[in-house]
Amino acid sequence: MRLGVPEWSRYTYARPEGDALRLLGSVRRGPQMGALAMTEDGQYVQVVGDYVTPLNSSQLTRAMAKAKPEEPSYPVQRTVARVGPPPVVTIKRRRTYVPI
């Protein structure tokens, strides 16, 4: 289980405000992977697109207590625009046929 927007956005779309599902992260259930969501009544569900599958709440409650939002494991580098010399464009002369 991983928490955060980058995790659930792989499996489903952002829900509109006031939707019955609150997206939390991603979850794996056997070979199936999907977005982890909580319904209004406190049930945990796995969401893949529009397909919703109920999950075992007692196991997920214990796992949620241990889980924390994932930081990217790779270093995030900011790209800086590099200013360099302008490109050099060479226009070659064409050969022309001159009859003698």
**3-state SS record for 37-87:** EECCCCCEEEEECCEEEECCHHHHHHHHHHCCECCCCCCCCCCCCCCCCCC
In this prediction, residue 70 carries a pLDDT of 57
Q: Is residue 73 included in any domain, yes or no?
A: no
Q: Which tens digit of pLDDT belongs to each residue from 29-44?
A: 778 888 888 888 888 8
Quote the percentage of the chain above a pLDDT of 70: 81
pTM: 0.56
Number of domains comprising the chain: 1
Interval 74-83: pLDDT, tens: 666 666 777 8
Q: Are 35 and 11 in contact (CB under 8 A)?
A: yes
Strand ranges across the sheet with 2-3: 2-3, 22-29, 32-38, 44-48, 51-54
Structural domain contains residue 51: yes
Asked if residue 85 belongs to a domain, the reply is: no
62 domain-assigned:
no
- Domain residues for the domain of 30 are 2-57
Is residue 92 in a domain? no
